[in-house]
Structure 1
Amino acid sequence: MTHIQNKFTDVLNYIDLHLDDELSIEQLSEIAHLSKYHFHRQFSSYYGISLSAYIKLIRLKRASYQLAFRKSLKVIDIALSSGYESPEAFSKAFSQAIGQSPSKFRQSPDWNCWHNKYESLTSMRVKIRDDKVNDFKVEIVNFLDINLAVLEHKGAPQMLPNTINNFIRWRKENKLPPSKNRTFNLVYDDPALVSPENYKFDICTSIKGSVKENNYGVINKNIPSGPCAVIRHIGSDDTLKNAVNYLYDVWLSSQKRELRNFPLFFERIHFFPEVAENEMVTDIYLPLK
């Protein structure tokens, strides 16, 4: 990374960890060790967005996840933690940014519209958060067989949150919380290499026994025992692809190992919005012979 990239990385990490706090130019410029008289222009020049607009979008991104996936949270609490003094002010800002009111988004989120809004922001964050190759540490482990309850997603990646939401509902009904049951994804496709309608991705939790017949489409699958190369990725899903590409393009080509006939899979250790995006923890497993 360049010198200025390192400075901005510190700022973005701080913002992620302090979304509930007041974030001022003076404070953030000190973290970047840049003059407060120039910091705002440098940030805007590098990213093409003002600092205040960036903070607003990141707060509303977390709010949208809380509305969609954490139904127990009250709208007023989400509004206050997002920096708004009233639900009315929050509703106005959310509607302008996302295209739906908070209550409508909670009831029936338009993820296509949401994705279009945040696509540029995701690209911006990836620009500075690309992991350095030397940061990747690969271990070979013997993964033990595990039984899964699975909801299969097939279709455009941006519609994946709808499948996640359905799986969360099923999981709650069956009392399988992430604190007691491990969370996995079976990753069949690279969204950049398949058409949206053919993209496949499984959302899974560990389970004892068989899945009972249900209206959600949840079924049983299994991750078999066997050796796997594993990388622990810490940070946003925006940069997961860097670690995945490293496993395939760099690590595998340097090893005398062959791949097993089983897809790449993730284990979600800590996930957003329970933790800040830069504190998400995902173990990436590449099955080996």
Structure 2
Amino acid sequence: MHYQARFHQLLNYIDSHLDEDLTVEKLSHIACLSKYHFHRQFSSLFGISAFTYIRQARMKRASYQLAFKKEMRIVDIAMANNYESSEAFSRAFSQSIGQNPSQFREQPDWIPWYEKYQRFKKMRVQRMQSCQPLYHVDVVKMSEIKIAALEHLGSFESLGNTIKHFIHWRKDNRLSPKVSRTFNIIYDDPAVTEPDKYRCEICVSIKLDVKPNDQGVFAKIIPAGRCAVIRHIGFEDTINKAITYLYSEWLAENEEELRDYPLFFERISLFPDVAECEVITDIYLPLK
């Protein structure tokens, strides 16, 4: 466990320093390992080389920056992900993702993107499972929250397109994360729901009414009531483990009953604004 914890610390370091030159000397020093054996140790534990992990992590962050950070120029995204030029970045991105950066920015093809990153996701989930989290659950009484919401109905893999539309509406209405809270209402589990029937809502807290709009954003209320809440810090890929703990262990141990309202998240910090290992999500389970 101590050995795996060192690699856990190393991957968090990598994900927080993707814009730096990550040499084997630096990485082996962070992990407290010999540089002569580092690559074999990393590959044996994770199934891919350290540099493959770094390349894929940079491409994932660049994908999010292209899709959701329109204020960032492509050349700035290239520099932020340690490429010497936009041309080098474009070649690498096209080979990795299957679209060049301009094409992905204009119309991301998320379904093959998700398929490509399944191995990357599974590797990280397995890594997190080796470090058992200790969940702290609070029971809070929520006040009513007025929100603007955009429904997503379709495969989980195409959620990025709905997020993109919502970001446009949010910017047009000057509701940045600095001035309004971000929520997701989760109606279905993508692991057991048919892809075309998966449903969730992307939401933002509001004070004024929602004006008629082309994006389909509408006003609604998150009702007041008791909730169990877990603060999840880290990769989105591991959030289901915290949810499973709430349903399978915490509810039974505390003899609580569920309220007739779906699970919802509050996004305290978002990727790629922060490194994936630093993303904060509060998970709310409504209680009677």
What SS does structure 2 have at the residue aligned with 1:135?
A: coil
2:11 is matched with: 12
The percentage of counterpart residues that share the same residue type is 56
1:71 is matched with: 70
- TM-aligned CA distance change 1:263 to 1:133, over 3 Å: farther
Q: State the distance in 2 between where 1:141 and 1:72 align.
A: 37
Q: State the distance in 1 between where 2:132 and 2:249 align.
A: 9
Q: State the distance in 1 between where 2:157 and 2:3 align.
A: 32
TM-score (norm 2): 0.98
2:61 is matched with: 62
2:280 is matched with: 281
User: Per-residue CA shift, 1:120-173, capped at 9, x if unaligned?
Assistant: 101111111238555100000011100110000011000000000000001111
Q: Aligned pair 1:237/2:243, yes or no?
A: no
What SS does structure 1 have at the residue aligned with 2:268?
A: strand
Q: Is the 8 A contact 1:131 1:242 kept in 2?
A: no
1:136 is matched with: 135
2:80 is matched with: 81
Q: State the distance in 2 between where 1:209 and 1:132 align.
A: 44
Q: What is the Cα deviation at residue 102 of structure 1?
A: 0.3
Q: Is the 8 A contact 1:131 1:239 kept in 2?
A: no
After superposing the two structures, state which structure 1 stretch, 18-27 or 261-270, moved more.
Answer: 18-27
User: Per-residue CA shift, 1:23-52, capped at 9, x if unaligned?
Assistant: 111111111111111110111122121111
User: Per-residue CA shift, 1:46-93, capped at 9, x if unaligned?
Assistant: 212111111011011111100000000011011011111111000000
1:211 is matched with: 210
Moved beyond 6 Å, runs of 4+ = none
2:25 is matched with: 26
Q: State the distance in 1 between where 2:103 and 2:77 align.
A: 15
Q: Is the 8 A contact 2:144 2:224 kept in 1?
A: yes
Q: Is the 8 A contact 1:146 1:224 kept in 2?
A: yes
TM-score (norm 1): 0.97
Read off the aligned partner of 1:84 and give its amino acid letter: Y
- 1:1-289 alignment runs, 5 A limit: 2-130=1-129, 135-289=134-288
What SS does structure 1 have at the residue aligned with 2:72?
A: coil
Read off the aligned partner of 2:47 and give its amino acid letter: G
Q: State the distance in 2 between where 1:251 and 1:210 align.
A: 38
What SS does structure 2 have at the residue aligned with 1:262?
A: coil
User: Per-residue CA shift, 1:2-27, capped at 9, x if unaligned?
Assistant: 23321110110000111111111111
What SS does structure 2 have at the residue aligned with 1:231?
A: strand
Q: State the distance in 2 between where 1:192 and 1:43 align.
A: 29
Q: State the distance in 2 between where 1:134 and 1:49 align.
A: 24
C-alpha RMSD of matched pairs (Å): 1.1
Q: State the distance in 2 between where 1:233 and 1:17 align.
A: 17
Length, aligned pairs only: 288
- TM-aligned CA distance change 1:7 to 1:134, over 3 Å: closer
Q: State the distance in 2 between where 1:139 and 1:184 align.
A: 18
Q: Is the 8 A contact 2:143 2:223 kept in 1?
A: yes
